[in-house]
């Protein structure tokens, strides 16, 4: 296989590292990043680092995009020449988190060029990307999914959830649950701290109970330690919640809980926490209560 990964940011870089493991089996991996310096070190792992995204995609059977949002994906594909560079029959795996409607529009437009599209956003953060344990939510055709299995395998567990756009719809559901749960954990720990209980011990006490969760384990620990180095940025969480609200509006679905959390994350971003981990909602709520 010849695989290209476009976008080696917080998530894309460890994913590229995992894909470079395929080089030992004779496969080739090409990478590109807007700031080349962030991709150069992958050359030592066997990757070919390119100056342009179109150059990286030119001979690839599979092209992976891992970008900030739908506008960035569209610009890369159709303004920066990636789609034109891809050969007919090749597969675009968009692992960015974008709106379902954008994914379907990209799939339709690429289809007219003979390129197969799958939306395959991920969950698991930088830790999951590094460990190859990402949850990969895939929308597209079953035949393409089977073809792409060897590409997904080093990255995590892939599940075909439906047709075009269904992967992005699933990611929005994931981000609604994650964002809302972070808010619940943050508020609960602050309540206990305000009342005189030790937040670290509170987290320990409810571990294994019905309130336990991955968010309590990972992000709860970050809250206890007041450590907000980004695994997933606050600004990205806000973007995903806004995409969820936009999609819900299109579907005429009321989502009052997500609406409230969108306001809280937006407040955190306005307070200067944009580049903090999304668990920094805890910090935003602490500041709101004059506890930080």
Q: Is 171 a residue of the active site?
A: yes
The pair of three-digit structure tokens given for residue 25, joined into one six-digit string: 């089996």
The Cα 261–Cα 266 span in angstroms is 8
Catalytic position from the list 24, 38, 141, 171? 171
Positions marked active-site: 171
């Amino acid at each position: 296989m010849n695989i290209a990964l476009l976008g080696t940011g917080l998530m894309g870089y460890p994913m590229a590292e995992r894909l470079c493991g395929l080089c030992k089996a004779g496969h080739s991996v090409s990478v590109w990043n807007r700031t080349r310096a962030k991709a150069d070190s992958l050359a030592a792992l066997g990757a070919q680092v390119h100056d342009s995204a179109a150059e990286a995609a030119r001979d690839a059977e599979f092209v992976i995009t891992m970008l900030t949002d739908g506008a960035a994906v569209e610009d890369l594909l159709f303004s920066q020449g990636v789609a034109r560079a891809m050969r007919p029959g090749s597969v675009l795996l968009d692992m960015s988190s974008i709106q379902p409607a954008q994914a379907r529009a990209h799939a339709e437009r690429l289809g007219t060029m003979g390129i197969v599209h799958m939306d395959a956003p991920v969950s698991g953060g930088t830790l999951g990307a590094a460990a190859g344990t990402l949850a990969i939510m895939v929308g597209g055709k079953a035949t393409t999914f089977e073809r792409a299995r060897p590409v997904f395998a080093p990255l995590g567990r892939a599940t075909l959830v439906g047709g075009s756009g269904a992967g992005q719809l699933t990611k929005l559901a994931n981000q609604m649950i994650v964002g809302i749960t972070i808010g619940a954990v943050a508020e609960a720990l602050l309540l206990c701290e305000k009342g005189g209980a030790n937040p670290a011990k509170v987290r320990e006490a409810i571990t294994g109970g019905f309130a336990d969760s991955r968010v309590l384990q990972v992000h709860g620990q970050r809250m206890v330690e007041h450590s907000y180095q980004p695994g997933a940025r606050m600004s990205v969480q806000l973007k995903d919640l806004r995409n969820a609200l936009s999609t819900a509006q299109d579907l005429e679905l009321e989502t009052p809980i997500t609406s409230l959390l969108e306001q809280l994350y937006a407040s955190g971003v306005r307070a200067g926490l944009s580049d903090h981990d999304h668990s920094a909602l805890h910090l935003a709520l602490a500041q709101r209560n004059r506890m930080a």
